[in-house]
Amino acid sequence: MKINDAKLIQKQESITDTGIASCSSLLYGDRDGVLFEHHYGASDPERGTPVDPGTVFHMYSMTKVMTVTAALMLYDRGLLNLDDEVSRYLPAYAALTVSERGRIRKAENKMTVRHLFTMTSGLTYLAEDPHGRAADLERGLGSGGWDTVRFAEELASVPLAFEPGERFLYGLSHDVLGALIEIISGKTLAEYMKEFIFAPLCMNDTYFYQDLPEKYIPRLAKNTEWNGEKYVNIPLLSRPAPALGVSGGGKLYSGGSGIVCTARDYAKFLSAMLGGRLLDRRTAAMMTAPQLSVKQRKSFNDPAFDPSTFGDEHTFGLGVRVQDRPARGGSAGEWGWSGALGTWFFVDAADGLWFLYLHQHTPAGHGRYIIPLRNVFYGEVD
């Protein structure tokens, strides 16, 4: 298998040169590790700091894939059942409500662990709530002092957008899944991740944001935008919820958006997933297999419910997008995810490769660069 790295570099560098992002890191590899990497641009354009292998990126929603993997490790040990009711672990979820036509009513369906994995729980990202409970929750988050489990418990009081299982909706499902990991393991999500994922894979530059050592702060890539003349630094996203993956604080570890790490560290995770070193083979196959019903899938590629649309050839597995039909480039079975500041990856088991691209830019604009970049990559594979 041969890939034209020169063309790939040219396409990557054009992303910075055309005003989409001030810097980027691009890597691809296989189950044994990195085969290629290229870093380009300034991680802090106002200081002229170049991006390099030591640059630390906010993963935002690419945290979700690690959280899902961590939860499935509990499943492999017989400690978590996908069809358990969430209320078994968080009693507050026994009395859920649904917002419907401006009114609140009691939920008829029980929320299960599977609903959390597949984001069919009805949990939102604290979007506009006419009943005011989401605003109350955000104020509570801003006051500090909550941990992962407390946040999940409080979230149960916010009316769901629909009955659990009814459709797909991008939201806080994986943050609640992180709370379940804590309850079952008796460890914080950060401790669990370090013991079972980060340390075994020698991911020594990976942390939840609030635990990031001071020495790493200068290595953090800035969130940037193009002002028409140059790249400028701008504040990190304030949503979803200021405490989730941004301001952090205390022991509230966001399973949906909290991790920061280097490109090389995330690459170690992808190599391990491709090589089957974290999950039982059957569990990994289940994670990366289509999980949505025909009805649920209709909302997966609907921008009203899913801001990360990838095309009709993709559906959702247990926390990852899954390609289930032929399309330009890639293979049926390809899986991956992305993050709000422009991070993106896929794993193609058929070709035995993973692909990782990282930048920090608002808006992320995945559609402007990922498809062309992906097509260059696949177009040069013999």
DSSP string, 196-214: IIITTTT-TT-EEGGG--G
Confidence (pLDDT) at 330: 67
Q: Which residue has the tokens 């104020």?
A: 139
Residues of the chain above pLDDT 70, percent: 91
Residue 245 has pLDDT above 60, yes or no: no
Half-sphere exposure of 264 (CA within 13 A, CB side): 12
Fold of 5-64+203-379: Beta-lactamase (3.40.710)
Cα separation, 246 vs 241, in Å, equals 8
Please write the tens of the pLDDT for every residue from 34-86: 999 999 999 999 999 999 999 999 999 999 999 999 999 999 999 999 999 99
Please write the tens of the pLDDT for every residue from 284-303: 999 999 999 999 998 887 66
Q: How confident is the model at residue 365 (pLDDT cuts 50, 70, 90)?
A: confident
Please write the tens of the pLDDT for every residue from 250-265: 789 999 999 999 999 9
Helices and strands (H and E) in the chain: how many: 11, 15
Structure letter (DSSP) for residue 26: E
Confidence (pLDDT) at 372: 86
Cα separation, 157 vs 134, in Å, equals 9
CB count within 10 Å of CB 269 equals: 25
**Which residues in the chain are classed under CATH 3.40.710.10?**
5-64+203-379
Please write the tens of the pLDDT for every residue from 80-117: 999 999 999 999 999 999 998 889 999 999 999 999 99
Cα separation, 166 vs 317, in Å, equals 16
- Which residues, other chains included, contact 272 with Cβ-Cβ below 8 Å and sequence gap of 6+? 201, 278
Please write the tens of the pLDDT for every residue from 16-28: 999 999 999 999 9
Q: How buried is residue 66: exposed, middle or buried, by Cβ count under 10 Å (0-12/13-18/19+)?
A: buried
Using CA atoms, how far residue 361 sits from 47, 218, 223, 273, 352, in Å, is 16, 18, 5, 27, 30
Structure letter (DSSP) for residue 181: H
H or E stretch covering 9: helix 5-17
